[in-house]
Structure 1
Amino acid sequence: MAVTVAVVLLTTAFVIVVALLAAAGAGKLARMDSASYPTALTRAAATFAAVVTLGAVVAGTLTPLLT
Structure 2
Amino acid sequence: MAVVLLTTALVIVVALLAAVGAGKLARMEGATYPTALTRAAAAFTAVLTLAATVTAALAALFA
- TM-score, structure 1 length as denominator? 0.89
Equivalent residue runs for 1:1-67 within 5 Å: 5-67=1-63
User: Larger radius of gyration, structure 1 or 2?
Assistant: 1
4+ aligned runs moved over 4 Å, structure 1: none
Runs of at least 5 residues in structure 1 that lack an aligned partner in the other structure = none
Aligned to 1:35, the other structure's residue is in SS state coil
Aligned equivalents of 1:64, 1:9: Cα separation in 2: 20
Q: Equivalent pairs: percent with the same residue?
A: 71
3-state DSSP of counterpart to 2:30: coil
TM score, norm. by length of structure 2 = 0.94
Residues in 2 aligned to 1:10 and 1:65: alpha-carbon distance in whole angstroms:
22
For these two proteins, the number of residue pairs brought into alignment is 63
